[in-house]
C-alpha cells in the first residue's frame, strides 16, 4: 500500500488526507477492509506475525485493521498525538483509557461534573477493583491541589463539562498533576479537536466520543484514545485487544469520511451557537443562558484563552422547573428531542431526566443540574430558524 502524508499540512488538510493508504487500485475514497481475519503465506509467516507485526501487517480485526489504522493515524495527526487507538464507543474509550493503566491501590482525582456514564465508571467500576477516587469542583484549583497526592496516578476531567459547560483550566491542573507524576486524561468532546489543542495545553491523554462531532451525522458509535506511543502501544492496546473494545472497519470508514467535513461543520455550528446564545440571553422565561462564548459565562476568559471558539453546546435554565422545561421541549418543531450531541441536526435534552437521571437529587443540585436545565446541541440549520423555534418553545414554557 502507498501512503499519503505531509507533516507540513494544516489541520483542515490533515483532516482530509492524513493517514490515507491506497491499495494497488489507487482508489480515491479510502477502502473498507471489511474482514475479521487475515491470511498468512505460510505457517512460519503466521508464527512470525504473532511475535511481532510489521508495518501494514495485521492478525485479527480486534487487534487492528487497515481501515481502522487509517482513521487512527488521521485523528492522531489532527490532534497532534503520537498515536491513537479507535474504540467501539466513546465510553469504551473512557473505560479503556482509565482501566488499562490503573490497579488496586491506585488513586485518581476527577472533576465531579461529568457525563453520567463517566461517573459510573469512576464511582462504581474503578472502586469495585480497589481504586480510590476523589472528586473535586473542577473549576477550583485549590481543590485540585488539595486532592492530588504523591501517590495519585491519574487525574480525569471533561475540558467542558456535560451538561453545565464548566471550563477546566487544563494547563494549571496538568501542572499540579505532573508535579507528582500523575497522568492527565481529558475528555475533550465538547471542545472538539477543531477548537482546542488539549495536548499542547498539558494533557497527556485525550479521549473523544467519535459518535459526536467526529461522525456528526448520527450514524455510528465510536471513540478514540490519543496519547504517546508508549501509552497507546504498551498500556492501552494490550488491554483493549484482549477485552474487545475495538472499532469496526465500517465505522472507521464512516469516521474517515466525517473527518473531511468536521472543521467546516464545527465552525458553522459554533457561529450559530454564539448567535443563538446571544439572542436568548435576557429573554423572559430564561433564568440563565450558559455558553462559554458569552461574557457572562463564569470562565469566559479561560475558555477564550484555551479555545478558538465557544463551541457548539448551549445550556439554558428555564424558569418554572421541569414542567416548564417539558412544555418548551414539546413545543419545538425544528429542534429534535434526543440525547446525542454534535449532530448536523439540532438536538435538545433534559439532563435531569435523561443523561444524568441516575444521580441523586443532592448530586444533581451540587452539579447545577436543576429541574429547569436543558442542553442544546446546535446543528447546521439556519440559526434564525433555530432562534424562532426556541422563542416559540419559551413562550409555551411560560403557559402555566
Q: Is 64 left (phi over 0), alpha (psi -120 to 50) or beta?
A: left
pLDDT digits (tens, 9 = 90+) for 268-305: 999 999 999 999 999 999 999 999 999 999 999 999 99
pLDDT digits (tens, 9 = 90+) for 13-47: 999 999 898 888 889 999 999 999 999 999 999 99
pLDDT digits (tens, 9 = 90+) for 88-117: 999 999 999 999 999 999 999 999 999 989
CB distance 168 to 111 below 8 Å: yes
Distance CA 70, CA 66 (A): 6
pLDDT at 54: 87
Calculate what percentage of the chain has a pLDDT beyond 70: 99
Contacts of 328 by beta carbon, 8 Å cutoff, 6+ apart: 318, 374, 393, 394, 396, 397
pLDDT at 1: 66
Q: What is the dihedral sign for C-alpha 159, 165, 169, 174?
A: negative
pLDDT at 88: 97
252, with CB counted inside 10 A (0-12, 13-18, 19+), is buried
The average pLDDT across 319-328 equals 96
Q: Show the cell assigned to 340.
A: 446525542
N- to C-terminal Cα separation, the chain: 65
pLDDT at 4: 67
Distance CA 224, CA 14 (A): 17
Distance CA 246, CA 232 (A): 13
Which candidate, 161, 238, 188, places its Cα nearest to that of 80? 188
Q: Is the pLDDT of residue 3 over 80?
A: no
Q: How many CA atoms lie within 13 A of 267 on its CB side?
A: 7
Which candidate, 142, 147, 141, places its Cα nearest to that of 110? 147
pLDDT digits (tens, 9 = 90+) for 356-386: 988 889 988 989 999 999 999 999 999 999 9
pLDDT at 396: 95
Helices (H), 169-248: 170-178, 192-195, 229-230, 237-243
Distance CA 335, CA 292 (A): 21
Q: What is the dihedral sign for C-alpha 76, 257, 260, 313?
A: negative
Distance CA 396, CA 332 (A): 9
Q: What distance lies between CA 182 and its chain's CA centroid?
A: 21
pLDDT at 211: 97
pLDDT at 243: 95
pLDDT at 342: 97
Across the chain, the runs of DSSP E, i.e. the strands, are 2-4, 20-22, 83-87, 107-111, 132-136, 152-158, 183-187, 205-209, 223-227, 286-290, 313-318, 336-337, 347-349, 373-377
CB distance 189 to 212 below 8 Å: yes
Peptide bond into 163 cis (omega under 30): yes
Q: Show the cell assigned to 25.
A: 487500485
CB distance 70 to 95 below 8 Å: no
Q: What is the pTM of this model?
A: 0.96
CB distance 181 to 215 below 8 Å: no
The average pLDDT across 232-253 equals 96
Contacts of 36 by beta carbon, 8 Å cutoff, 6+ apart: 60, 61, 62
pLDDT at 359: 87
CA 320 vs CA 123, 180, 289, 334, 394: distances in Å: 32, 46, 15, 23, 11
Cα-based angle 309, 187, 223 (whole degrees, multiple of 5): 105
pLDDT at 7: 81
Q: What is the helix, strand, coil percentage profile of the chain, to 5?
A: 40, 20, 40
The average pLDDT across 341-362 equals 94
pLDDT digits (tens, 9 = 90+) for 172-227: 999 999 999 999 999 999 999 999 999 999 999 999 999 999 999 999 999 999 99
pLDDT digits (tens, 9 = 90+) for 62-75: 999 999 999 999 99
Q: Show the cell assigned to 5.
A: 502524508
Amino acid at each position: 500500500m502507498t501512503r499519503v502524508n505531509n507533516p507540513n499540512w494544516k489541520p483542515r488538510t490533515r483532516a482530509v488526507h492524513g493517514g490515507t493508504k491506497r491499495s494497488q487500485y489507487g482508489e480515491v475514497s479510502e477502502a473498507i477492509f471489511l474482514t475479521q481475519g487475515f491470511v498468512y503465506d505460510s505457517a512460519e509467516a503466521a508464527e512470525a506475525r504473532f511475535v511481532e507485526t510489521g508495518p501494514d501487517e495485521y492478525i485479527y480485526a480486534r487487534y487492528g485493521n487497515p481501515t481502522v489504522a487509517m482513521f487512527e493515524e488521521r485523528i492522531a495527526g489532527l490532534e497532534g498525538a503520537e498515536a491513537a487507538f479507535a474504540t467501539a464507543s466513546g465510553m469504551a474509550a473512557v473505560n479503556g483509557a482509565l482501566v488499562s493503566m490503573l490497579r488496586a491501590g491506585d488513586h485518581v482525582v476527577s472533576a465531579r461534573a461529568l457525563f453520567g456514564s463517566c461517573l459510573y465508571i469512576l464511582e462504581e467500576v474503578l472502586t469495585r477493583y480497589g481504586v480510590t477516587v476523589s472528586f473535586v469542583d473542577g473549576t477550583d484549583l485549590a481543590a485540585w491541589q488539595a486532592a492530588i497526592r504523591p501517590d495519585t496516578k491519574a487525574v480525569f476531567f471533561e475540558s467542558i463539562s456535560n451538561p453545565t459547560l464548566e471550563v477546566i483550566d487544563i494547563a494549571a491542573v496538568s501542572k499540579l498533576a505532573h508535579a507528582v507524576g500523575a497522568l492527565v486524561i481529558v475528555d475533550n468532546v465538547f471542545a472538539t479537536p477543531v477548537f482546542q489543542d488539549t495536548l499542547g495545553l498539558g494533557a497527556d491523554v485525550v479521549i473523544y466520543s467519535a459518535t459526536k462531532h467526529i461522525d456528526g451525522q448520527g450514524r455510528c458509535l465510536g471513540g478514540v484514545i490519543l496519547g504517546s506511543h508508549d501509552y497507546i502501544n504498551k498500556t492501552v492496546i494490550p488491554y483493549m485487544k484482549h477485552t474487545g473494545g475495538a472499532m469496526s472497519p465500517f465505522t472507521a470508514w464512516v469516521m474517515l469520511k466525517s473527518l473531511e467535513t468536521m472543521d467546516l461543520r464545527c465552525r458553522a455550528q459554533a457561529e450559530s451557537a454564539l448567535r443563538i446564545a446571544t439572542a436568548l440571553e435576557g429573554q423572559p422565561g430564561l433564568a440563565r443562558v450558559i455558553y462559554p462564548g458569552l461574557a457572562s459565562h463564569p470562565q469566559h476568559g479561560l475558555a477564550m484563552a484555551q479555545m478558538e471558539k465557544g463551541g457548539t453546546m448551549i445550556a439554558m435554565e428555564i424558569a418554572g422547573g421541569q414542567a416548564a422545561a417539558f412544555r418548551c421541549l414539546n413545543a419545538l418543531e425544528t429542534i429534535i428531542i434526543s440525547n446525542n450531541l454534535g449532530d448536523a441536526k439540532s438536538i435538545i435534552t433534559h439532563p435531569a431526566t435523561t443523561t444524568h437521571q441516575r444521580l441523586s437529587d443532592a448530586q444533581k443540585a451540587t452539579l447545577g443540574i436543576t429541574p429547569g436545565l436543558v442542553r442544546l446541541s446546535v446543528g447546521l440549520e439556519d440559526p434564525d430558524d433555530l432562534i424562532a423555534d426556541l422563542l416559540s418553545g419559551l413562550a409555551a414554557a411560560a403557559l402555566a
